[in-house]
Amino acid sequence: MNPMLKGITLVQNAPRLNRSNLEFALQEIEKAKGKSSVIVFSELALNGYMLQDKLSEDAWQMDELALLLEASHTIDIVIGVALKEERGFYNAALYLSKGALTHTHHKVHLPNYGMFEEARYFKAGSRISSFTTDYGSAAMLVCEDLWESSLLEDLEDAHPDIIYVLAASPARGFSDDKLAIEEQWHTLLQKAAVQMQAQVVFVNRVGFEDGLGFWGGSRILNDKGEVIHLLSKFESEVSHYKEEM
Protein backbone atom coordinates (compact mmCIF):
# COMPACT_ATOMS: atom_id res chain seq x y z
CA MET A 1 0.00 0.00 0.00
CA ASN A 2 1.17 3.51 -0.74
CA PRO A 3 2.70 4.77 2.53
CA MET A 4 0.63 7.94 2.26
CA LEU A 5 -2.59 5.87 2.24
CA LYS A 6 -3.83 5.61 5.81
CA GLY A 7 -6.30 2.86 5.06
CA ILE A 8 -9.22 1.80 2.86
CA THR A 9 -12.84 1.25 3.89
CA LEU A 10 -14.88 -1.23 1.85
CA VAL A 11 -18.67 -0.89 1.95
CA GLN A 12 -20.32 -4.17 0.93
CA ASN A 13 -24.06 -3.63 1.32
CA ALA A 14 -27.43 -4.12 -0.36
CA PRO A 15 -28.47 -0.81 -1.97
CA ARG A 16 -32.16 -0.10 -2.21
CA LEU A 17 -33.94 0.68 -5.46
CA ASN A 18 -34.48 4.31 -4.51
CA ARG A 19 -32.59 7.47 -3.62
CA SER A 20 -32.31 6.70 0.10
CA ASN A 21 -28.88 5.20 -0.62
CA LEU A 22 -27.30 8.65 -0.49
CA GLU A 23 -28.22 9.00 3.18
CA PHE A 24 -26.69 5.58 3.95
CA ALA A 25 -23.52 6.45 2.05
CA LEU A 26 -23.10 9.71 3.93
CA GLN A 27 -23.49 7.89 7.25
CA GLU A 28 -20.77 5.37 6.36
CA ILE A 29 -18.49 8.11 5.08
CA GLU A 30 -18.84 9.94 8.38
CA LYS A 31 -17.95 6.76 10.31
CA ALA A 32 -14.90 6.14 8.14
CA LYS A 33 -13.39 9.59 8.59
CA GLY A 34 -10.19 9.37 10.56
CA LYS A 35 -9.96 5.60 9.98
CA SER A 36 -9.22 5.55 6.25
CA SER A 37 -7.96 7.72 3.43
CA VAL A 38 -10.41 6.27 0.90
CA ILE A 39 -13.89 4.73 1.16
CA VAL A 40 -15.12 2.48 -1.66
CA PHE A 41 -18.70 1.50 -2.50
CA SER A 42 -20.09 -0.94 -5.09
CA GLU A 43 -21.51 -0.53 -8.60
CA LEU A 44 -24.71 1.57 -8.63
CA ALA A 45 -24.45 1.97 -4.86
CA LEU A 46 -26.54 5.15 -5.00
CA ASN A 47 -29.37 3.54 -6.98
CA GLY A 48 -29.62 -0.24 -6.76
CA TYR A 49 -29.07 -2.43 -9.80
CA MET A 50 -32.41 -3.32 -11.41
CA LEU A 51 -33.47 0.26 -12.14
CA GLN A 52 -34.89 -0.38 -15.61
CA ASP A 53 -37.66 2.17 -16.27
CA LYS A 54 -37.00 3.87 -12.92
CA LEU A 55 -33.72 5.14 -14.34
CA SER A 56 -35.17 8.39 -15.69
CA GLU A 57 -36.60 9.20 -12.25
CA ASP A 58 -33.80 8.03 -9.98
CA ALA A 59 -30.59 8.82 -11.89
CA TRP A 60 -28.47 11.52 -10.28
CA GLN A 61 -27.05 14.70 -11.74
CA MET A 62 -23.76 15.90 -10.29
CA ASP A 63 -25.32 19.07 -8.91
CA GLU A 64 -27.55 16.86 -6.74
CA LEU A 65 -24.53 15.27 -5.06
CA ALA A 66 -23.25 18.36 -3.27
CA LEU A 67 -23.34 16.56 0.09
CA LEU A 68 -21.03 13.85 -1.25
CA LEU A 69 -18.64 16.47 -2.58
CA GLU A 70 -18.64 18.21 0.79
CA ALA A 71 -17.95 14.91 2.57
CA SER A 72 -14.92 14.31 0.34
CA HIS A 73 -13.04 17.17 2.02
CA THR A 74 -11.86 14.73 4.70
CA ILE A 75 -11.87 11.35 2.92
CA ASP A 76 -11.66 10.34 -0.75
CA ILE A 77 -14.80 8.62 -2.04
CA VAL A 78 -15.19 5.98 -4.78
CA ILE A 79 -18.84 5.24 -5.52
CA GLY A 80 -21.08 3.78 -8.22
CA VAL A 81 -24.04 5.77 -9.52
CA ALA A 82 -26.58 5.99 -12.30
CA LEU A 83 -25.51 9.34 -13.67
CA LYS A 84 -27.57 11.66 -15.85
CA GLU A 85 -25.47 13.74 -18.22
CA GLU A 86 -26.26 15.84 -21.25
CA ARG A 87 -25.85 12.90 -23.63
CA GLY A 88 -27.86 10.42 -21.60
CA PHE A 89 -27.62 8.01 -18.67
CA TYR A 90 -24.40 6.26 -17.64
CA ASN A 91 -23.49 3.48 -15.23
CA ALA A 92 -20.64 5.42 -13.66
CA ALA A 93 -17.94 5.29 -11.02
CA LEU A 94 -17.03 8.59 -9.36
CA TYR A 95 -13.86 9.56 -7.53
CA LEU A 96 -14.42 12.52 -5.22
CA SER A 97 -11.68 14.28 -3.29
CA LYS A 98 -11.21 17.61 -1.53
CA GLY A 99 -14.72 18.75 -2.38
CA ALA A 100 -14.37 18.14 -6.11
CA LEU A 101 -15.03 15.48 -8.73
CA THR A 102 -11.57 14.13 -9.58
CA HIS A 103 -12.58 11.53 -12.17
CA THR A 104 -15.62 9.88 -13.75
CA HIS A 105 -15.51 6.46 -15.40
CA HIS A 106 -18.43 5.48 -17.62
CA LYS A 107 -18.89 1.72 -17.75
CA VAL A 108 -17.65 0.62 -21.17
CA HIS A 109 -18.98 -2.91 -21.48
CA LEU A 110 -22.71 -3.03 -20.80
CA PRO A 111 -24.05 -6.60 -20.61
CA ASN A 112 -27.16 -7.23 -22.63
CA TYR A 113 -27.84 -10.96 -22.33
CA GLY A 114 -29.83 -13.29 -20.10
CA MET A 115 -30.73 -11.46 -16.90
CA PHE A 116 -28.85 -8.29 -17.90
CA GLU A 117 -30.37 -5.40 -19.87
CA GLU A 118 -27.92 -2.58 -19.17
CA ALA A 119 -27.34 -1.69 -22.82
CA ARG A 120 -31.06 -1.01 -23.14
CA TYR A 121 -30.95 1.76 -20.54
CA PHE A 122 -27.40 3.12 -20.33
CA LYS A 123 -24.99 4.65 -22.82
CA ALA A 124 -21.57 3.04 -22.94
CA GLY A 125 -18.31 4.73 -22.11
CA SER A 126 -15.44 4.56 -24.58
CA ARG A 127 -12.30 3.77 -22.59
CA ILE A 128 -10.60 3.48 -19.23
CA SER A 129 -7.94 5.95 -18.17
CA SER A 130 -5.78 6.63 -15.15
CA PHE A 131 -5.89 9.74 -13.00
CA THR A 132 -3.87 11.30 -10.21
CA THR A 133 -4.80 11.16 -6.52
CA ASP A 134 -2.96 12.04 -3.32
CA TYR A 135 -2.22 8.31 -2.99
CA GLY A 136 -0.69 7.68 -6.39
CA SER A 137 -2.21 7.13 -9.81
CA ALA A 138 -5.53 5.29 -9.94
CA ALA A 139 -8.02 3.76 -12.36
CA MET A 140 -11.63 2.63 -12.01
CA LEU A 141 -13.56 -0.14 -13.74
CA VAL A 142 -17.19 -1.15 -13.35
CA CYS A 143 -17.96 -4.88 -13.21
CA GLU A 144 -18.05 -6.28 -16.79
CA ASP A 145 -15.23 -3.93 -17.80
CA LEU A 146 -12.73 -6.26 -16.11
CA TRP A 147 -13.95 -9.22 -18.19
CA GLU A 148 -12.85 -7.54 -21.42
CA SER A 149 -9.10 -8.06 -21.55
CA SER A 150 -8.67 -5.50 -24.33
CA LEU A 151 -9.78 -2.74 -21.97
CA LEU A 152 -6.78 -3.24 -19.70
CA GLU A 153 -4.50 -2.48 -22.62
CA ASP A 154 -5.49 1.17 -22.19
CA LEU A 155 -3.74 1.06 -18.82
CA GLU A 156 -0.54 -0.65 -19.93
CA ASP A 157 1.43 2.59 -20.32
CA ALA A 158 -0.17 4.34 -17.34
CA HIS A 159 0.83 1.73 -14.73
CA PRO A 160 -1.69 2.84 -12.05
CA ASP A 161 -0.75 2.26 -8.43
CA ILE A 162 -4.28 1.21 -7.50
CA ILE A 163 -7.26 -0.08 -9.48
CA TYR A 164 -10.78 0.17 -8.08
CA VAL A 165 -13.28 -2.40 -9.40
CA LEU A 166 -16.93 -1.73 -8.52
CA ALA A 167 -19.32 -4.63 -9.11
CA ALA A 168 -22.87 -5.90 -8.86
CA SER A 169 -22.17 -9.54 -9.62
CA PRO A 170 -24.95 -12.09 -9.10
CA ALA A 171 -24.11 -15.49 -7.64
CA ARG A 172 -23.81 -18.33 -10.16
CA GLY A 173 -22.30 -21.80 -10.16
CA PHE A 174 -22.97 -23.17 -6.66
CA SER A 175 -21.27 -26.35 -5.46
CA ASP A 176 -20.70 -27.89 -2.04
CA ASP A 177 -17.84 -25.65 -0.99
CA LYS A 178 -17.24 -23.30 -3.92
CA LEU A 179 -18.88 -20.57 -5.94
CA ALA A 180 -17.82 -20.68 -9.58
CA ILE A 181 -18.38 -16.98 -10.21
CA GLU A 182 -16.13 -16.09 -7.26
CA GLU A 183 -13.32 -18.22 -8.66
CA GLN A 184 -13.70 -16.57 -12.06
CA TRP A 185 -13.64 -13.12 -10.53
CA HIS A 186 -10.59 -13.94 -8.43
CA THR A 187 -8.68 -15.09 -11.52
CA LEU A 188 -9.48 -11.81 -13.31
CA LEU A 189 -8.61 -9.65 -10.30
CA GLN A 190 -5.35 -11.50 -9.77
CA LYS A 191 -4.41 -11.13 -13.42
CA ALA A 192 -5.08 -7.38 -13.32
CA ALA A 193 -2.99 -6.95 -10.17
CA VAL A 194 -0.02 -8.85 -11.57
CA GLN A 195 -0.25 -7.49 -15.11
CA MET A 196 -0.48 -3.87 -13.93
CA GLN A 197 1.72 -4.33 -10.86
CA ALA A 198 -1.04 -2.53 -8.97
CA GLN A 199 -3.08 -2.96 -5.85
CA VAL A 200 -6.65 -3.96 -6.75
CA VAL A 201 -9.67 -3.04 -4.62
CA PHE A 202 -12.82 -5.00 -5.50
CA VAL A 203 -16.18 -4.12 -3.93
CA ASN A 204 -19.19 -6.26 -4.83
CA ARG A 205 -22.68 -5.74 -3.45
CA VAL A 206 -24.92 -8.23 -1.63
CA GLY A 207 -28.69 -8.62 -1.27
CA PHE A 208 -31.51 -9.59 -3.62
CA GLU A 209 -33.27 -7.71 -6.42
CA ASP A 210 -35.92 -9.15 -8.73
CA GLY A 211 -34.64 -12.72 -8.40
CA LEU A 212 -30.94 -11.81 -8.51
CA GLY A 213 -28.80 -12.65 -5.49
CA PHE A 214 -25.46 -10.82 -5.20
CA TRP A 215 -22.59 -12.63 -3.49
CA GLY A 216 -20.26 -9.97 -2.05
CA GLY A 217 -16.80 -11.37 -1.36
CA SER A 218 -15.17 -7.94 -1.67
CA ARG A 219 -11.38 -7.97 -1.35
CA ILE A 220 -8.07 -6.19 -1.72
CA LEU A 221 -5.18 -7.75 -3.64
CA ASN A 222 -1.58 -6.60 -3.56
CA ASP A 223 0.55 -6.15 -6.67
CA LYS A 224 1.60 -9.81 -6.50
CA GLY A 225 -2.03 -10.90 -6.83
CA GLU A 226 -2.28 -12.04 -3.21
CA VAL A 227 -5.49 -11.40 -1.26
CA ILE A 228 -4.58 -9.21 1.71
CA HIS A 229 -8.12 -8.41 2.86
CA LEU A 230 -11.31 -10.42 2.30
CA LEU A 231 -14.94 -9.80 3.21
CA SER A 232 -17.63 -12.42 3.71
CA LYS A 233 -20.01 -13.74 1.08
CA PHE A 234 -23.72 -12.83 1.04
CA GLU A 235 -23.52 -10.62 4.16
CA SER A 236 -23.51 -6.84 4.44
CA GLU A 237 -20.19 -5.74 5.85
CA VAL A 238 -18.26 -2.50 6.25
CA SER A 239 -14.58 -3.19 6.77
CA HIS A 240 -11.62 -0.89 7.41
CA TYR A 241 -8.27 -2.15 6.15
CA LYS A 242 -4.95 -0.76 7.25
CA GLU A 243 -1.68 -2.34 6.26
CA GLU A 244 0.48 -3.35 9.21
CA MET A 245 3.91 -1.77 9.08
CA distances from 231 to 2, 145, 146, 206 (A): 21, 22, 20, 11
* 158-174: average pLDDT: 92
Per-residue pLDDT tens over the stretch 122-154 = 999 998 999 999 999 999 999 999 998 887 788
Domain borders along the chain are 8-241
Per-residue pLDDT tens over the stretch 63-118 = 999 999 999 999 999 999 999 999 999 999 999 999 999 999 999 999 987 678 89
What letter represents residue 59's amino acid? Answer: A
* Strand ranges in 86-135 using DSSP code E only, listed in sequence order: 88-97, 100-106, 131-133
- Strand partners for 136: 133
Answer yes or no: is pLDDT of 177 > 80: no
pTM as predicted: 0.96
**Of 52 and 150, more confident:** 52
List the alpha helices (DSSP H) in the chain: 21-32, 55-58, 66-71, 118-121, 149-152, 180-196
Angle 48-35-134 from CA coordinates, rounded to 5°: 85
Please name the fold of domain 8-241.
Nitrilase/N-carbamoyl-D-aminoacid amidohydrolase (3.60.110)
